[in-house]
Structure 1
Amino acid sequence: MASNRADVTVAERFLGAFGAHDWEAMRTVLAPDLAWSMPGTGTISGTIHGVDAAVNRLQEIVGRGLDTELLHILTGENGVTLSLHNTAETPDGRKLDEYLATVLTIRGGRVAAIDSYLSDVDGMSAFFN
C-alpha cells in the first residue's frame, strides 16, 4: 500500500548534512533544478536556483554563526516542513532571534524546492547585510 506522505528521511538527510556542514552530502540531497525562496532584502534573500546556489546560501548562513534549533518536523503529502528557531550575534552586536518554517518539497527522493517563512523578515534582512 502506497503512503500519501513525504519521505521524512530526505529531511533528516538535509538536516544532518546542514548540521555537519557536509556540503558534498548536501549536494546528494538537493535536486539539480532546486528553487529556494527567502523573503527580505538581506544577502540571503530572494529566489535562487540550483544546487551550487543553495550550497552557497547554506555556507553563508553557517558562516554567520547561527545556532539552529529544530522544534518540529511536520510531514505532508508532498514534502516536509521544518519548524526552526535561529539565534546569532555578530561581533558588531547585531542579533538574530527568529522562528522559521522551512518547507522542503520532495520529489524523487530529493529536495526539489525550499520555501522559507520567517517570523522577523526585517531582523533577518538587517542581520544578513
Structure 2
Amino acid sequence: MGEFLGRTLHPADRADPASLYALGEEFRAAQTGKDPVRLRALLHDEVEWVLPGDNAVSGTARGIDAIFERFAAMAAYGLDIHIEHVTAGRDAVALILHNTGHQDDRAIDEHLVSTLALRDGRIVRIETYLTDIDMMNAYFTR
C-alpha cells in the first residue's frame, strides 16, 4: 500500500500507466465535449474536487452534483478550460491545463495542474494546483 494526497491506496486502486493515461484522455474528451453522461460515468460517487483560493469557485466540492455545479459556475464566468496534456504515473493521472477567460473588466490566463486519484477505477479526488492564486481570486470574485 502507498499514500496519495493523504489517502491510503490499496493495490486494487492501482492501474498500469497506460490505463491511467486512457482514463485521463477519456476525462479530457468528456470535459472538452461537455458530455455530462460520459463525465458522470468517470466520477466516483464520493468524488471531491479541491481548488485553492478564496473566491466563488474555490474550496472542496463533494459529490458528483457539486462537481457539475463547479463546472457550471466556471462556465458562467466565461472560463475556457483547455486540457493541454495528460500524464500518468503509478497511482494517479495529472492533467496540465491552460485556462483563459474574460468577464467584465477581469481576465484570466493561467497554467495549472489537476491530479486525478482513483478508487474502484473511477475518479475519487481531483486536486488542483494553481500558478497564480491571486489572479484566480480576482477573476472569480464573489
Instruction: Judge same fold: TM > 0.5, yes or no.
Output: yes
Is the 1:7–1:109 Cα contact (8 Å) retained in structure 2?
no
What TM-score, normalized to structure 2?
0.81
SS in 2 for 1:42: coil
Indicate which of 62, 85, 104 corresponds to 1:49: 62
> In the alignment, is residue 113 of structure 1 matched against residue 136 of structure 2?
no
The aligned residue for residue 95 of structure 2 is 82
Structure 1 match to 2:20: 7
Aligned to 2:138: 126
**Count of residues in correspondence between the two structures:** 127
Identity over aligned pairs, percent: 35
User: In the alignment, residue 113 of structure 1 is paired with which amino acid?
Assistant: R
The code of the aligned residue for 1:24 comes to V
Alignment partners' CA distance in 2, 1:55 and 1:61: 10
Deviating 4+ runs (over 4 angstroms): none
Q: TM-score, normalised by structure 1?
A: 0.89
Greater shift in the superposed pair: 101-110 or 115-124: 101-110
Q: CA RMSD in A?
A: 1.7
Provide the residue aligned with 2:113 in structure 1. 101
Name structure 1 gaps, 5 residues minimum.
none
